[in-house]
Structure formats: C-alpha cells, structure tokens
Amino acid sequence: MEKHISIVNQLAQLDELAVAIEGISEEWELPMSLSMNLNLVLEELVTNIIFYGYEDTNEHHINIMLDKEDKLITVQIEDDAREFNPLLMAEPNIENSIEDRKIGGLGIFFVRKIMEEVTYKRDGNKNVLTMTKSIE
C-alpha cells in the first residue's frame, strides 16, 4: 500500500501533514506509538527543509511517500531544497547540560533513534531521504 502527500514550504502545512499521517495511520491500523513517531520525524524533517533549505521565498513542493508492506513502513521525503545530507551531521552530545550544548542537531538525532534505517541520496536537483520502521 502506498500513499503520497504533497505540501508546500510553509509552516502552516505542518498541520495538514499531521492530519494526513493520522488518516493513513488509521487506515493502515498502525499502533498509536508508531503514528506519533512518524509524525514527530516528519514534522522535524519538513520543518528543517522549510527553515533552512531554500534561498528564495518561492513556493516549493515537498513530496512524502509512505509505503506499507507486511510489517515494514517506508517513508521517503523528496524536496528541491539546497543539497543537505542529514546523515553527515555529527550526533549532539546529549551528556552536556542544556546550557553547554550546541544549538541544533537534536531533530536529526531523534530521526536516527526512531527510524531503523535512514538513507540519503541527491537525485539531480532533489534531496531524497528514505527511512524504514518496523510495525511492532
């Protein structure tokens, strides 16, 4: 089963994304914890794309594909933002106090911890981030 969500690079679209994830989760009868984790991961990644990915104020499409096969969910995000491989980001030092930590990096840390596999590729002028998660 495959579902597609297309949004534009505006923060108001995060609400539509959350509603779409909730609907897909209900249709696929996903556990609530998995639905919440998918929403957290997608909100974090899409927010980063919107805030940091574009050098202009034009409208850009961010395409999200979700696929369910047996007990595996695959999520793919494709955007035409500037090239950015989140897997090259160093993991934040979560042992430091909040005051001593560098700003940023926690979202990608959460993505790596929540999802079982995360891959990145640059396809022409597009970033393609693919993630998988088992249905528990």
Domain boundaries, the chain: 2-134
Q: Which residue has the higher pLDDT, 16 or 96?
A: 16
Say what the pTM is.
0.88
Q: For residue range 24-67, list pLDDT tens digits in order.
A: 999 999 999 999 999 999 999 999 999 999 999 999 999 999 99
| CA 24 from centroid of its chain's CA atoms | 15
Which phi-psi region, left, alpha or beta, contains residue 49 (left: φ > 0; alpha: ψ -120 to 50)? Answer: alpha
- DSSP annotation of 88 reads G
Fold of 2-134: Heat Shock Protein 90 (3.30.565)
